[in-house]
Amino acid sequence: MAQTRAIDIIEKEVRPSVRKVEKFNREAIQSSEKLIKETRERLDASFKEIQFYLLVQRASNDDRKAFDELLAVCNSAGHPFQNTAQQAVLTIVRSARLEPTINLDAQVQNLSYAEFLRSYRNSHRSSRVPLLVSLWRSKKLSMKEKLDFLTTVIKDDDSLHAVEKACELMNEVAKLNKNIAGAHFYLSWWDKNKERY
Protein backbone atom coordinates (compact mmCIF):
# COMPACT_ATOMS: atom_id res chain seq x y z
CA MET A 1 0.00 0.00 0.00
CA ALA A 2 2.81 2.45 0.83
CA GLN A 3 4.44 1.52 -2.44
CA THR A 4 1.25 2.21 -4.40
CA ARG A 5 0.86 5.52 -2.57
CA ALA A 6 4.46 6.46 -3.53
CA ILE A 7 3.80 5.59 -7.18
CA ASP A 8 0.63 7.71 -7.13
CA ILE A 9 2.55 10.66 -5.68
CA ILE A 10 5.27 10.27 -8.32
CA GLU A 11 2.69 10.05 -11.13
CA LYS A 12 0.56 12.96 -9.90
CA GLU A 13 3.14 15.38 -8.53
CA VAL A 14 6.68 14.54 -9.64
CA ARG A 15 6.15 13.43 -13.24
CA PRO A 16 4.28 16.65 -14.26
CA SER A 17 7.11 18.69 -12.78
CA VAL A 18 9.66 16.61 -14.68
CA ARG A 19 7.65 17.11 -17.90
CA LYS A 20 7.58 20.87 -17.29
CA VAL A 21 11.36 20.89 -16.77
CA GLU A 22 11.90 18.78 -19.92
CA LYS A 23 9.62 21.10 -21.94
CA PHE A 24 11.43 24.14 -20.56
CA ASN A 25 14.80 22.60 -21.50
CA ARG A 26 13.61 21.77 -25.04
CA GLU A 27 12.32 25.32 -25.52
CA ALA A 28 15.52 26.78 -24.11
CA ILE A 29 17.63 24.65 -26.46
CA GLN A 30 15.46 25.63 -29.45
CA SER A 31 15.66 29.27 -28.45
CA SER A 32 19.44 29.04 -28.09
CA GLU A 33 19.79 27.32 -31.46
CA LYS A 34 17.63 30.01 -33.07
CA LEU A 35 19.71 32.75 -31.42
CA ILE A 36 22.96 31.10 -32.55
CA LYS A 37 21.61 30.80 -36.12
CA GLU A 38 20.49 34.46 -36.19
CA THR A 39 23.81 35.60 -34.74
CA ARG A 40 25.73 33.56 -37.33
CA GLU A 41 23.61 35.07 -40.13
CA ARG A 42 24.24 38.61 -38.83
CA LEU A 43 27.97 37.92 -38.56
CA ASP A 44 28.04 36.52 -42.11
CA ALA A 45 26.18 39.59 -43.40
CA SER A 46 28.55 41.91 -41.52
CA PHE A 47 31.58 40.06 -42.89
CA LYS A 48 30.26 40.39 -46.47
CA GLU A 49 29.60 44.08 -45.91
CA ILE A 50 33.12 44.61 -44.56
CA GLN A 51 34.60 42.70 -47.52
CA PHE A 52 32.59 44.85 -49.93
CA TYR A 53 33.71 48.12 -48.35
CA LEU A 54 37.31 46.92 -48.38
CA LEU A 55 36.86 46.26 -52.10
CA VAL A 56 35.55 49.82 -52.57
CA GLN A 57 38.51 51.16 -50.59
CA ARG A 58 41.03 49.22 -52.69
CA ALA A 59 39.36 50.40 -55.91
CA SER A 60 39.43 53.98 -54.62
CA ASN A 61 43.15 53.60 -53.98
CA ASP A 62 44.00 52.98 -57.65
CA ASP A 63 43.66 49.17 -57.62
CA ARG A 64 42.56 48.10 -61.11
CA LYS A 65 41.68 44.53 -60.13
CA ALA A 66 39.45 45.77 -57.30
CA PHE A 67 37.77 48.20 -59.70
CA ASP A 68 37.06 45.37 -62.14
CA GLU A 69 35.52 43.34 -59.28
CA LEU A 70 33.42 46.37 -58.35
CA LEU A 71 32.22 46.65 -61.96
CA ALA A 72 31.18 42.99 -61.83
CA VAL A 73 29.06 43.77 -58.74
CA CYS A 74 27.48 46.69 -60.63
CA ASN A 75 26.44 44.32 -63.39
CA SER A 76 25.13 41.58 -61.07
CA ALA A 77 21.36 41.97 -61.01
CA GLY A 78 19.99 41.39 -57.54
CA HIS A 79 23.35 41.67 -55.80
CA PRO A 80 22.77 43.16 -52.34
CA PHE A 81 25.45 45.82 -52.93
CA GLN A 82 24.67 46.60 -56.58
CA ASN A 83 23.38 50.13 -55.98
CA THR A 84 26.23 50.99 -53.63
CA ALA A 85 28.74 49.58 -56.12
CA GLN A 86 27.27 51.73 -58.88
CA GLN A 87 27.63 54.86 -56.75
CA ALA A 88 31.19 53.91 -55.82
CA VAL A 89 32.13 53.38 -59.48
CA LEU A 90 30.70 56.76 -60.44
CA THR A 91 32.66 58.43 -57.66
CA ILE A 92 35.89 56.65 -58.61
CA VAL A 93 35.48 57.48 -62.29
CA ARG A 94 34.94 61.15 -61.47
CA SER A 95 37.99 61.23 -59.19
CA ALA A 96 40.18 59.47 -61.78
CA ARG A 97 39.85 62.46 -64.10
CA LEU A 98 42.37 64.51 -62.14
CA GLU A 99 45.08 66.08 -64.23
CA PRO A 100 48.71 65.24 -63.44
CA THR A 101 50.73 67.77 -61.52
CA ILE A 102 54.09 66.49 -62.74
CA ASN A 103 55.43 67.33 -66.19
CA LEU A 104 57.78 64.63 -67.48
CA ASP A 105 57.92 65.80 -71.11
CA ALA A 106 61.59 66.77 -71.04
CA GLN A 107 62.59 63.41 -69.58
CA VAL A 108 60.76 61.25 -72.12
CA GLN A 109 60.56 63.28 -75.35
CA ASN A 110 63.57 61.59 -76.92
CA LEU A 111 62.91 58.04 -75.77
CA SER A 112 62.27 55.30 -78.30
CA TYR A 113 59.20 53.10 -77.90
CA ALA A 114 61.23 50.36 -76.18
CA GLU A 115 62.92 52.87 -73.85
CA PHE A 116 59.60 54.48 -72.98
CA LEU A 117 58.06 51.06 -72.30
CA ARG A 118 60.94 50.16 -69.99
CA SER A 119 60.69 53.51 -68.21
CA TYR A 120 56.94 53.11 -67.79
CA ARG A 121 57.18 49.57 -66.44
CA ASN A 122 59.77 50.66 -63.88
CA SER A 123 57.74 53.66 -62.76
CA HIS A 124 55.69 53.98 -59.61
CA ARG A 125 51.90 54.10 -60.02
CA SER A 126 51.86 57.79 -59.13
CA SER A 127 54.10 58.59 -62.14
CA ARG A 128 52.12 56.67 -64.73
CA VAL A 129 49.50 59.28 -65.59
CA PRO A 130 52.13 62.02 -66.16
CA LEU A 131 54.14 59.54 -68.24
CA LEU A 132 51.10 58.82 -70.40
CA VAL A 133 50.50 62.54 -70.92
CA SER A 134 54.15 62.91 -71.95
CA LEU A 135 53.83 59.92 -74.28
CA TRP A 136 50.86 61.55 -75.95
CA ARG A 137 52.80 64.81 -76.43
CA SER A 138 55.89 63.02 -77.76
CA LYS A 139 56.94 64.04 -81.24
CA LYS A 140 59.32 61.11 -81.63
CA LEU A 141 56.74 58.33 -81.36
CA SER A 142 54.26 57.65 -84.15
CA MET A 143 50.51 57.74 -83.56
CA LYS A 144 50.42 53.96 -84.04
CA GLU A 145 53.07 53.50 -81.33
CA LYS A 146 51.18 55.82 -78.98
CA LEU A 147 47.84 54.09 -79.53
CA ASP A 148 49.45 50.67 -79.29
CA PHE A 149 51.03 51.66 -75.98
CA LEU A 150 47.72 53.02 -74.64
CA THR A 151 46.07 49.74 -75.62
CA THR A 152 48.66 47.84 -73.59
CA VAL A 153 47.97 50.08 -70.61
CA ILE A 154 44.21 49.57 -70.92
CA LYS A 155 44.67 45.80 -71.13
CA ASP A 156 47.27 45.17 -68.46
CA ASP A 157 47.98 48.10 -66.16
CA ASP A 158 47.18 47.65 -62.46
CA SER A 159 46.74 51.41 -61.95
CA LEU A 160 43.14 52.49 -62.32
CA HIS A 161 44.18 56.11 -62.89
CA ALA A 162 46.56 55.09 -65.66
CA VAL A 163 43.86 53.06 -67.40
CA GLU A 164 41.43 55.98 -67.14
CA LYS A 165 44.03 58.35 -68.62
CA ALA A 166 44.81 55.87 -71.41
CA CYS A 167 41.08 55.73 -72.28
CA GLU A 168 40.86 59.52 -72.20
CA LEU A 169 43.88 59.94 -74.49
CA MET A 170 42.78 57.20 -76.86
CA ASN A 171 39.37 58.83 -77.05
CA GLU A 172 40.96 61.87 -78.73
CA VAL A 173 41.33 59.64 -81.78
CA ALA A 174 38.68 56.94 -81.27
CA LYS A 175 35.86 59.37 -80.32
CA LEU A 176 34.02 56.68 -78.32
CA ASN A 177 33.37 58.91 -75.30
CA LYS A 178 33.67 56.07 -72.77
CA ASN A 179 35.14 56.18 -69.30
CA ILE A 180 37.08 53.43 -67.59
CA ALA A 181 33.94 51.31 -67.21
CA GLY A 182 33.92 51.04 -71.01
CA ALA A 183 37.64 50.39 -71.42
CA HIS A 184 37.00 47.22 -73.43
CA PHE A 185 35.42 49.35 -76.18
CA TYR A 186 38.80 51.00 -76.80
CA LEU A 187 40.47 47.61 -77.11
CA SER A 188 37.88 46.52 -79.70
CA TRP A 189 38.25 49.82 -81.54
CA TRP A 190 42.04 49.39 -81.76
CA ASP A 191 41.73 45.80 -83.02
CA LYS A 192 39.49 47.04 -85.83
CA ASN A 193 41.43 50.22 -86.67
CA LYS A 194 45.15 49.67 -86.02
CA GLU A 195 45.94 48.97 -89.67
CA ARG A 196 44.88 52.55 -90.51
CA TYR A 197 47.77 54.02 -88.50
Containing structural domain, residue 113: 105-196
Looking at 39, 72, 95, which one is the last position of a domain? 95
The pLDDT-based confidence of 17 (bands split at 50, 70, 90) is: confident
In 3-state terms, what secondary structure has residue 102? coil
Q: What pLDDT does residue 165 have?
A: 93
Region label for 79, one of left (φ > 0), alpha (ψ between -120 and 50) or beta (otherwise): beta
Under 8 Å between Cβ of 189 and 176: yes
Asked which of 95, 129, 156 is the last residue of a domain, the reply is 95
Residues 83, 115: one domain? no
Could you read off the pLDDT of 32-74 as tens digits, one per residue? 788 888 889 898 888 889 999 999 999 988 888 898 899 899 8
Statement to judge: residues 89 and 14 lie in one domain: yes
CB 153 within 8 Å of CB 166? yes
Q: Of 95, 120, 153, which residue sits at a domain end?
A: 95
Shared-domain flag, residues 63 and 123? no
Considering the domain architecture, whether residues 110 and 62 belong to the same structural domain is answered as no
pLDDT band at 23 (very low <50, low <70, confident <90, very high): confident
Q: Is 116 a domain residue?
A: yes
Report angle CA 11, 17, 18 to the nearest 5 degrees.
85
Residues 119 and 54 in one domain: no
Say yes or no: 136 and 179 in one domain: yes
Banded pLDDT at 152 (limits 50, 70, 90): very high
- pLDDT confidence of 132, banded at 50, 70, 90? very high
- 3-state DSSP call for residue 159? strand
Q: Is residue 100 part of a domain?
A: no
Nearest residue to 161 (alpha-carbon basis) of 73, 109, 87, 93: 93
- C-alpha count within 13 angstroms, C-beta hemisphere, residue 89: 21
Total domain count for the chain?
A: 2
